[in-house]
């Protein structure tokens, strides 16, 4: 126990790695030491990565998860937004392929009178990241300092930034390391990563979109429920209103996968069109945000409100305003054809006629990373223009030779590996699949809605 004026207990990092490797629980002080050393850079990446891998393989107790979340939250500032004149509400996804709802939700919910202080992440593993998508808009700044974040938030009701040196800096470092070391798939690390950012941003309520299926980090629904309950419990303990929706990620959401392509699809949804599954999920998540934020009496009234705001054009206008305030080029928002594009495409033809009965969705995400839409090393920069347009989804009928999807790339040679991955990810059979599951499997919420 450290006394005032007495230096904190020192540990040997190698002992903490070995302790976790051997399946033992670390104390809060030990976890705090690792997080502090990661944040100030005194613990090298290779030691942090070894410890992260040990956590993935050995897991954590509830106490360790709480200690990790607490230490990561307190690695930076915890914003106090209590002076804002309405409730603050946010949403966060555990990560998926073509999972782009944040870009629709922040302006939509802000246009409905609530504040959305959103701290998001970059691409993680095979999944895309909100910040990389936003940065495909020329000039858009995701690294605003806190006073500017607060200013944009107070002017337009929403602001979307990343972890900074001031807010959730431990997650900033750990997130980038997990992305490239195969250490994402741990419910404990995901819980601490998400909740440390979300608790730091000063929101009152949080809607969690917990993905399950072949394109999610939690492939099995029971694992997604475990993660959802862990995060809901963590948020509630900190006095936040919480709900978690368990949603389907067995195929890409919408049709576009890739940074600029996904921005284009979000603009379609903000204009009242766009693919049905994406639009429906946005409306359902917005419904819960309105409900938890006290802007609607029930979730179904919240959904109606969301539909009206999109139809009125106010959600699109709010997005445009946010982009402008964050330095982005609004000519691109008015004319998405100006978004970065490769100017070259390669079709992925179906090897046979039939119906799509399944998609190995993680492979679709990996194909996008391989094209340059994500990172394989920390220092990689992402290519905003590359990506995949998914034409055929589960249940779709396809003729032999008809494109299943189209790769946006810079040359045929660049598309070779992605094309094979995509072709292999499709399962096609003579008969259609038995039934189509709905996007939302269930809501984890204690109370009437």
Binding ligand URA by CB under 6 A: which of 193, 203, 241, 296?
193
Nearest-approach distance from CB 208 to ligand URA, in angstroms = 10
Nearest-approach distance from CB 224 to ligand URA, in angstroms = 12
Looking at the Cβ atoms of 136 and 193, the one nearer to ligand URA is 193
Nearest-approach distance from CB 129 to ligand URA, in angstroms = 8
Binding ligand URA by CB under 6 A: which of 194, 228, 286, 339?
194
Looking at the Cβ atoms of 92 and 305, the one nearer to ligand URA is 92
Judged by CB under 6 A, the stretch of 16-24, 182-190, 326-334, 429-437 that binds ligand URA is: 182-190
Judged by CB under 6 A, the stretch of 186-194, 272-280, 386-394, 405-413 that binds ligand URA is: 186-194
Looking at the Cβ atoms of 95 and 275, the one nearer to ligand URA is 95
Question: What tokens appear for 442 in the block?
Answer: 């269930």
Nearest-approach distance from CB 14 to ligand URA, in angstroms = 25
Name the residues annotated as catalytic.
92, 171, 178, 193, 197
Nearest-approach distance from CB 117 to ligand URA, in angstroms = 15
Looking at the Cβ atoms of 184 and 322, the one nearer to ligand URA is 184
Phi, psi of 399 (to 5 degrees): -95, 155
Nearest-approach distance from CB 376 to ligand URA, in angstroms = 18
Looking at the Cβ atoms of 200 and 310, the one nearer to ligand URA is 200
Binding ligand URA by CB under 6 A: which of 32, 76, 107, 121?
121
Residue 263: closest CA among 198, 307, 329: 329
3-state SS record for 320-373:
HHHHHHCCCCHHHHHCHHHCCCCCCEEEEECCCCEEEEEECHHHHHHHHHHHHH
Binding ligand URA by CB under 6 A: which of 31, 190, 246, 333?
190
Looking at the Cβ atoms of 149 and 316, the one nearer to ligand URA is 149
Residues numbered 72-111 forming contacts with ligand URA, rule: CB under 6 A: 94-95
Query: Applying CB under 6 A, which residues contact ligand URA?
Result: 94-95, 121, 124, 184, 189-190, 193-194
């Amino acid at each position: 126990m450290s006394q005032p004026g007495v230096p904190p207990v020192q540990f040997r990092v190698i002992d903490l790695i070995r302790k976790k490797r051997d399946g033992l629980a670390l104390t809060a002080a030990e976890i705090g030491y690792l997080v502090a050393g990661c944040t100030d850079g005194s613990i090298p990446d290779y030691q942090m990565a070894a410890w992260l891998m040990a956590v993935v393989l050995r897991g954590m107790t509830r106490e360790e998860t709480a200690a990790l979340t607490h230490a990561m939250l307190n690695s930076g500032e915890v914003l106090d937004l209590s002076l804002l004149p309405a409730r603050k509400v946010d949403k966060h996804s555990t990560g998926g392929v073509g999972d782009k709802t944040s870009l629709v939700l922040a302006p939509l919910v802000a246009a409905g009178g609530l504040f959305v202080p959103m701290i998001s992440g970059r691409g993680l593993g095979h999944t895309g990241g909100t910040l990389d998508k936003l940065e495909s808009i020329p000039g858009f700044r995701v690294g605003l300092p806190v006073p500017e974040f607060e200013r944009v938030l107070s002017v337009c009701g929403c602001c979307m930034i990343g972890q900074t040196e001031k807010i959730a800096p431990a997650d900033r470092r750990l997130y980038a390391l997990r992305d490239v070391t195969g250490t994402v798939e741990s419910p404990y690390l995901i819980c601490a990563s998400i909740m440390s950012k979300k608790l730091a941003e000063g929101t009152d309520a949080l809607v969690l979109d917990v993905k399950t299926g072949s394109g999610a980090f939690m492939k099995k629904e029971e694992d997604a429920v475990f993660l959802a309950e862990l995060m809901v419990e963590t948020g509630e303990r900190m006095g936040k209103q919480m709900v978690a929706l368990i949603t389907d990620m067995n195929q890409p959401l919408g049709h576009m996968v890739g940074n600029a392509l996904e921005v284009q699809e979000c603009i379609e949804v903000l204009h009242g069109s766009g693919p049905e599954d994406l639009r429906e999920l946005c409306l359902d998540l917005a419904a819960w945000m309105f409900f938890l934020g006290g802007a609607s009496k029930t979730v179904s009234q919240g959904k109606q409100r969301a539909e009206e705001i999109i139809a009125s054009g106010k959600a699109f206008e709010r997005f445009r305003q946010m982009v402008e305030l964050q330095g982005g080029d609004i000519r691109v928002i008015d004319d998405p054809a100006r978004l970065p594009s490769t100017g070259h495409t390669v079709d992925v033809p179906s090897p046979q006629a039939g119906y799509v009965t399944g998609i190995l969705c993680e492979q679709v995400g990996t194909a996008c990373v391989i094209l340059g839409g994500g990172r394989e090393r920390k220092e990689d920069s992402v290519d905003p223009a590359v990506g995949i347009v998914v034409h055929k989804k589960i249940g779709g009928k396809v003729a032999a030779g008809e494109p299943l999807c189209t790769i946006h790339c810079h040359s045929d040679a660049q598309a070779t590996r992605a094309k094979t991955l995509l072709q292999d990810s499709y399962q096609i059979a003579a008969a259609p699949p038995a039934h189509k599951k709905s996007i939302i499997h269930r809501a984890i919420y204690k109370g009437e809605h």
